[in-house]
């Protein structure tokens, strides 16, 4: 009997690559037909004793990680979690993060990658929207009790059957310690195929609620080994996870998953400050890591006087937000390593400066795409290509860029062209060598040092305040973070005055929004500047906000 190779698994949840593109990406060897579950099995078979994950004093070999993922996969399957189910995973940089996601990958359930900073509003939305069957949390993190949050969300979301806690599950009988889930007996499950979805990543977002990004085993795996080639990652690489492990940058550019693909070692860093990270770099002989620009600034300041041996560090990736040329120039003198700028997005496209690019290119551009088959267009407002070197909107499609968000058909019409290009919302220009320089942004998003804030999401929360008539949230330039947030608020005529800015901040916090979304500044105004057609002019508000600093 001949078995036809699996094509792209059709799903009604999200548009996928047309078959001719999928066939091309396979023929070109980009999609190798691997799944994450099988990949880890293979690495464990090839080099069982090599260390895969280091978390403090814990050192898991590839065999150990593989065994743990297997046992947990059995446990999840025994609890009725099946292929295609969604599981919200909100874990900090701990070894269990990998155990959990590989177990889910194995049974084909989709991790939904929440960040540790997310609070009730976001988590409830992820659980409700994805109809998640389980939620994986730490016990207490930075003084915040995630079990209490889980109990609240579980009471509100009927699909949510299980809460798994890494650490102490607390008194709630509905919470199961993760350590009790694993089981040795094989429980049969339906395994995913390479064209299946592997997980849902979060978009930075420019809308009222974050969009979910469906990534397949095939496409994501390509972004990993494609990145590995450009970042010189191999089995001797030691990657330090400094940023939150679930974010696309530290996960895949080349990130922890890229390094595991290569058979290297992943070291978890619990906090991003130099006092925490530098001794770990020394002890573990870390060779490569990734930072957002504000952290890169802190590290370069601390580097020259550090009491630790950082000489093992070869490559420092910086991305997530624009890294200024002046700061970029300081990296090598301060840390004695090669800077690699990375301009990526959870939707797909990732650009890197090449390790052997001239220094001027490394410090003045945000790199060029991973793949010769990443199609990149720079267009004007009418989607017409601009002249070479001119600035315009970046559109892209390719072997690891999604063709649509998950369950968002209307939004997809706006975010993708008819022929499948993703509208990144970034304003760029391309140099003669094909490198991109990020010049700005057309999307209504604030980039707070790499953390993305959708003004509309914050505005919707503030509008819920009984004293607020209207609100507009904009970016204010900031030397350290690049941008901070400022909320302009018009109070109701009958509002009890005076209301203090702190009352608005407190309200946003109490509504359960991640701390990085709480406005840094709140200004009360009588009216908003308007555009010619009577819409709020965010451009004018941004100018006012910048001038008023
Ligand atoms: C990364 O991913 P997201 O999904 O959090 O954010 C993507 C957006 C981009 O569209 C762009 O607006 C901005 O973040 N961005 C940059 C940048 N890197 C990302 N803007 C200017 N310069 C850069 N170097 O942020 C992300 C994903 C994978 C790798 C690296 C970053």
The full DSSP string for 49-101 is TSEEEEETTEEEEHHHHHHHHHHHHHHHHHTT--TT-EEEE---SSTHHHHHH
- The per-residue pLDDT for 496 is 74
Same CATH topology for 29-216 and 219-441: the answer is yes
Dihedral, CA of residue 404, residue 512, residue 295 and residue 89, to nearest 10:
-60
Query: Is residue 253 in contact with ligand 1, taking CB distance under 6 Å?
Result: yes
Strand-pairing partners, residue 199, are 215
Q: Identify the CA nearest to 137 among candidates 159, 158, 157, 120.
A: 120
Contact call for residues 72 and 97 (beta carbons, < 8 A): no
Whole-angstrom Cα distance, residue 369 to residue 362? 14
Ramachandran category for residue 82: left, alpha or beta (phi over 0 → left; psi -120 to 50 → alpha): beta
- The per-residue pLDDT for 10 is 60
Task: Quote the CATH superfamily of domain 219-441.
Answer: ANL, N-terminal domain (3.40.50.12780)
Q: Identify the CA nearest to 72 among candidates 147, 1, 153, 176.
A: 176
**Tally of CB atoms within 10 A around 59:** 15
Distance 345 CA to ligand 1 centre (A): 5
Distance 43 CA to ligand 1 centre (A): 30
Nearest CA, atom 2, ligand 1: 345
The whole-number mean pLDDT for each consecutive block of 10 residues of the chain, a chain of 549 residues, reads 49 92 98 98 98 98 98 98 98 98 98 97 98 98 98 98 98 96 95 98 89 98 98 98 98 98 98 98 98 98 97 98 98 98 98 98 98 98 98 98 97 97 98 98 96 96 96 96 97 85 97 97 96 92 92
Atom of ligand 1 nearest to the CA of 247: 5
Strand-pairing partners, residue 351, are 343, 369
Ramachandran category for residue 450: left, alpha or beta (phi over 0 → left; psi -120 to 50 → alpha): left
Whole-angstrom Cα distance, residue 461 to residue 121? 9
Structure token pair of residue 246: 């679930």
Q: Which residues contact 180 (CB under 8 A, 6 or more apart)?
A: none
Dihedral, CA of residue 425, residue 426, residue 432 and residue 434, to nearest 10:
-80
Atom of ligand 1 nearest to the CA of 346: 4
Query: Is residue 346 in contact with ligand 1, taking CB distance under 6 Å?
Result: yes
Whole-angstrom Cα distance, residue 201 to residue 211? 9
Distance 324 CA to ligand 1 centre (A): 14
CATH architecture of 446-547: 2-Layer Sandwich (3.30)
Strands 338-345 and 348-352: antiparallel
Contact call for residues 397 and 375 (beta carbons, < 8 A): yes
Query: Is residue 452 in contact with ligand 1, taking CB distance under 6 Å?
Result: yes
Nearest CA, atom 12, ligand 1: 426
Give the helix/strand (H/E) hosting 141.
Answer: strand 140-141
Whole-angstrom Cα distance, residue 91 to residue 382? 42
Whole-angstrom Cα distance, residue 263 to residue 529? 56
- The per-residue pLDDT for 9 is 60
Distance 450 CA to ligand 1 centre (A): 7
Atom of ligand 1 nearest to the CA of 318: 24
Question: What are the backbone dihedrals phi and psi of residue 322, each rounded to the nearest 5 degrees, phi first?
Answer: -65, 130
E runs forming strands in 173-260: 175-177, 197-202, 212-216, 238-241
CATH code that applies to domain 29-216 = 3.40.50.980
Distance 350 CA to ligand 1 centre (A): 8
Q: Identify the CA nearest to 268 among candidates 52, 50, 113, 56.
A: 56
The structural domains of the chain, with segments of one domain joined by +, span 29-216, 219-441, 446-547
Give the helix/strand (H/E) hosting 509.
Answer: helix 501-510
Is the ipTM higher than 0.90? The answer is yes
Contact call for residues 250 and 244 (beta carbons, < 8 A): yes
Strand-pairing partners, residue 379, are 385, 393
Query: Is residue 204 in contact with ligand 1, taking CB distance under 6 Å?
Result: yes
What's the pTM value of the predicted model, to 2 decimals? 0.97
Nearest CA, atom 25, ligand 1: 320
Whole-angstrom Cα distance, residue 344 to residue 452? 13
Residues 324, 327, 330: CA angle, nearest 5 degrees: 150
Alpha helical stretches, state H, 135-286:
146-156, 217-231, 248-252, 255-262, 274-284
User: Hey, which of 319, 353, 393 would you mutate to test ligand 1's pocket, going by the most ligand atoms within 8 Å of its Cβ?
Assistant: 319
Query: Is residue 345 in contact with ligand 1, taking CB distance under 6 Å?
Result: yes
Distance 140 CA to ligand 1 centre (A): 29
Atom of ligand 1 nearest to the CA of 213: 4
User: Hey, which of 345, 426, 436, 483 would you mutate to test ligand 1's pocket, going by the most ligand atoms within 8 Å of its Cβ?
Assistant: 345
Contact call for residues 15 and 27 (beta carbons, < 8 A): no
Distance 479 CA to ligand 1 centre (A): 18
């Amino acid at each position: 009997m001949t078995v036809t190779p699996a094509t792209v698994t059709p799903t009604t949840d999200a548009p996928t690559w047309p078959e001719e593109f999928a066939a091309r990406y396979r023929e070109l060897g980009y999609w190798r037909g691997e799944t994450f579950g099988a990949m880890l099995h293979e690495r464990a078979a090839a080099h069982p004793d090599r260390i895969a994950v280091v978390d403090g004093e814990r050192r898991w070999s590839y065999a150990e990680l593989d065994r743990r993922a297997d046992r947990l996969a059995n446990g999840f399957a025994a609890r009725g979690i099946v292929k295609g189910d969604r599981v919200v995973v909100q874990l900090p940089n701990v070894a269990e993060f990998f155990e959990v996601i590989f177990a889910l990958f194995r049974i084909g359930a989709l991790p939904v990658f929440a960040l540790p900073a997310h609070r009730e509003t976001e988590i409830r939305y992820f659980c409700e929207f994805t109809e998640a069957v389980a939620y994986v949390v730490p016990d207490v993190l930075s003084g915040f009790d995630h079990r209490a949050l889980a109990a609240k969300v579980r009471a509100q979301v009927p699909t949510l059957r299980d809460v798994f806690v890494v650490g102490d599950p607390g008194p709630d009988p509905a919470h199961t310690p993760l350590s009790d889930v694993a089981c040795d007996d094989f429980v049969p499950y339906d395994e995913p195929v390479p064209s299946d979805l592997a997980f849902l990543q979060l978009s930075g977002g420019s809308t009222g609620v974050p969009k979910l990004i469906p990534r397949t085993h095939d496409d994501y795996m390509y972004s990993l080994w494609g990145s590995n080639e450009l970042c010189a990652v191999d089995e001797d690489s030691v990657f330090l996870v400094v940023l939150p492990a679930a974010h696309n940058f530290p996960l895949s550019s080349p990130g922890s998953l890229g390094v595991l693909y290569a058979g290297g070692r992943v070291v978890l860093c619990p906090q991003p400050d130099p006092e925490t990270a530098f001794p770990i770099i020394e002890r573990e002989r870390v060779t490569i890591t990734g930072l957002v620009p504000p952290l890169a600034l802190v590290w370069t300041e601390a580097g020259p006087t550090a009491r630790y041996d950082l000489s093992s560090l070869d490559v420092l990736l910086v991305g997530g937000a624009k890294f200024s040329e002046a700061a970029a120039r300081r990296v090598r003198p301060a840390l004695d390593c090669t800077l690699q700028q990375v301009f990526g997005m959870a939707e797909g496209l990732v650009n890197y400066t090449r390790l052997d690019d001239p220094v001027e290119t490394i410090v003045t551009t945000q790199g060029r795409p991973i793949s010769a088959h990443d199609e990149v267009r720079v267009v004007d407002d009418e989607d017409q290509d601009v002249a070479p070197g001119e600035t315009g909107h970046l559109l892209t499609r390719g072997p690891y860029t999604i063709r649509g968000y998950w369950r968002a058909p209307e939004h997809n019409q706006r975010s993708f062209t008819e022929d499948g290009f993703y509208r990144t919302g970034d304003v760029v220009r391309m140099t003669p060598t094909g490198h991109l320089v990020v010049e700005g942004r057309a999307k209504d998003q604030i980039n707070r040092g790499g953390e993305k804030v959708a003004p509309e999401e914050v505005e919707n929360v503030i509008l819920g305040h009984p004293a607020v008539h209207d609100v507009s949230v904009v970016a204010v330039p900031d030397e350290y973070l690049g941008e901070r947030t400022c909320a302009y608020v018009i109070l109701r005529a009958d509002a009890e005055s005076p209301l203090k800015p702190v009352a608005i901040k407190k309200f946003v916090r109490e509504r359960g929004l991640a701390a990085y979304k709480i406005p840094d500044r709140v200004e009360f105004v009588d009216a908003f500047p308007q555009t010619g057609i009577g819409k709020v002019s965010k451009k004018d508000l941004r100018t006012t906000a910048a001038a008023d600093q």
